[in-house]
A = this chain, B = another copy of it.
Amino acid sequence: MKKAKISNAVIRRLPRYLRHLAAIRREGEERTSSSALGARMGLTASQIRQDLSCFGEFGQQGYGYNVEKLYQELREILNLHQEKDAVLVGVGNLGHALIHNFKFRDSGVRLCAAFDADPARIGTQIDGIPVLDAGTLSSYLSQHPTVLAVLTLPGRYAQQTAETLAECGVRGIWNFTGFDVTLPPEHGGVVVESVHFSDSLQVLSYLIGNKD
């Protein structure tokens, strides 16, 4: 039901808008404007108005934007208001850290189960999330339709596991393995979002190294 294709640049700014709106909201402000928000975020007022206008008309001339309303609009645009079930695959240090620290709920995600191949972990719970046998992943998914999967297992299993997930109907894969995962289009456009720690560190390395 969307009109024009939204550019990637715009999409990647949305969570940042949301973060700043959330902060302004916590500060108790009722209204803001494209110029105020822009000053705060280091963007031009023009860009903010242009970005938001991709999704609708959320402001009011002479007044600006109602913080609460714009905040909620952004949550809807990002589909955060809609509950999404997820599983996590690979309960190593990083998987454990995500289960324990990360606020999945803030993004509308309900982490339902974790999977691991290590018998010592299977059957345990982490913060109330059961750790199940990785061998039962696809049978679990067939019984519990799940839209999201968090990939935190060793890189060598990334591709194969991603394919299993895609076959079982997962729509989005949040990939922390550091390996690229490519899913053929027969899997109906499953989206892979990768968090490449090393890419980020290497960019930092570049930036500090060229400051001389």
Instruction: Give residues in A with beta carbon < 8 Å to B.
Output: 1-2, 11-12, 14-16, 18-19, 77-80, 82, 84, 92-94, 96-98, 100-104, 106-109, 147-148, 171-172, 174, 180, 189, 191, 193, 195-212
Contact = CB atoms under 8 A, between A and B. Distances in A.
By Cβ-Cβ distance, the 7 closest A-B pairs, closest first, are A79-B209, A93-B97, A15-B199, A193-B204, A172-B208, A15-B202, A94-B97
22 contacts: A11-B207, A14-B206, A15-B199, A15-B202, A15-B203, A16-B199, A18-B202, A19-B180, A19-B199, A77-B206, A78-B206, A80-B205, A93-B96, A102-B198, A107-B198, A107-B202, A108-B205, A109-B205, A171-B211, A193-B204, A195-B195, A195-B197
Contacts of A12: 199, 203
A103 B196 CA distance: 12
Contacts of A195: 195, 197, 200
- What is the total number of copies of this protein in its complex? 2
A97 B92 contact: yes
A180 B15 CA distance: 12
B174 A204 contact: yes
A11 B108 CA distance: 33
B14 A208 contact: no
B93 A101 contact: yes
Contact of A196 (B15, B77, B201): B15
A205 B92 CA distance: 24
Most B Cβ at <10 Å: residue of A97, A98, A102, A195:
A97
A96 B200 CA distance: 18
